[in-house]
Amino acid sequence: MTQKTATLTISRFEPGKDTVPGTQSYSVPYLEDWVILDALNYIKDQVDGTLSYRWSCRMGVCGSCGMMVNGEPKLTCSAFIRDYYPQEIRIEPLENFPVIRDLVIDMSDFMDKLTSVQPWIIREKEKPVSEGEYLQTPEQLDSYQQFSQCINCLLCYAACPIFGLETDFIGPAAIALGYRYNLDSRDEGNDKRNDVIKDVNGVWECTFVGECSIVCPKHVDPAAAIQRLKVESAKELMQTLLMPWGRK
């Protein structure tokens, strides 16, 4: 019996040689249980070792293998070939990011933005270990838990046209993670984080397209985080204007 095959058309870009990316088509075995990442690994191992892309865990946890699959940002470890077969599958690097090589994007700008929102627990004064853990009730955990599921896969950035147009925008994932720590009952760093999050390049750059929440593979809702922060920010502004004596 002839082995069924699927065709992947992959964006190729060699730095220093190409000025714009081109494409190359590959034929891979069609298997019911193969995801696109399996096909890329097959090409890399069996057909063309020069193909470059990122991947690690293969189980939707590390967030490394995000790419554009037929124009949609996807984790390729979770996108099955059977869902596209027999159509040709187009694989491109995540949109709105500079391309280093083939399917590998430059994440350094995102990493700087992520660091700027200080996505970690900030305490004004740490209590001694002898006093035990910082305890939380289930309700306190619930308030931020969905936002803590972000794996920094950057699909939300690839889906956000505002980030594509305004590259200074901090973007959905960084804001959602900042908000996650703002909501954490153990944290005392809201003011430090809000200087960045509630700035013009923060939540106010967002015009609520909402696509970031749609494409998130971990069902985080960055659009909600941003809109809620806008309301918070507007309330604070009104408080400052109407009750200037209450200003911190």
Partner 1 sequence: MIANRPDKSKLYYPQMPTAWWFKKWNYFFFLLRELTSVFIAAFLVVYLIQIYNMGLGAEHYAAFVERFKSPGWIVFHVVALIFAVYHSITWFKTASVILTPHVGSWAVPPWMVTALHIAAWMVVSVIILLLFVFV
Q: Count residues near partner 1 (CB under 8 A).
A: 34
User: Of the listed pieces 15-23, 32-40, 149-157, 197-205, which binds partner 1 according to CB under 8 A?
Assistant: 15-23
Beta strands per DSSP E along 102-234: 104-105
Note whether 111 binds partner 1 by CB under 8 A.
Answer: yes
Contacts of 225 (CB under 8 A, 6+ apart): 147, 172, 175, 176, 179, 180
User: Of the listed pieces 117-125, 169-177, 217-225, 239-247, which binds partner 1 according to CB under 8 A?
Assistant: 217-225
Residue ranges in 228-247 that form contacts with partner 1 under rule CB under 8 A: 228, 231
Q: Per residue in 77-94, is it b (16+ CB within 10 Å) or e — as a string?
A: bebebeebbeeebbbbbb
Note whether 46 binds partner 1 by CB under 8 A.
Answer: no
Residue ranges in 153-172 that form contacts with partner 1 under rule CB under 8 A: 161, 164-165
Note whether 221 binds partner 1 by CB under 8 A.
Answer: yes
Helices and strands (H, E) in the chain, number of each type: 9, 7
- Runs of H (alpha helix) within 29-104: 36-42
Q: How far is CA 73 from the centre of its chain?
A: 10
What is the binding site for partner 1 (CB under 8 A)?
Answer: 13, 15-16, 18-21, 71, 95-100, 106, 108, 111-112, 115, 161, 164-165, 207-211, 214, 221, 223-224, 227-228, 231
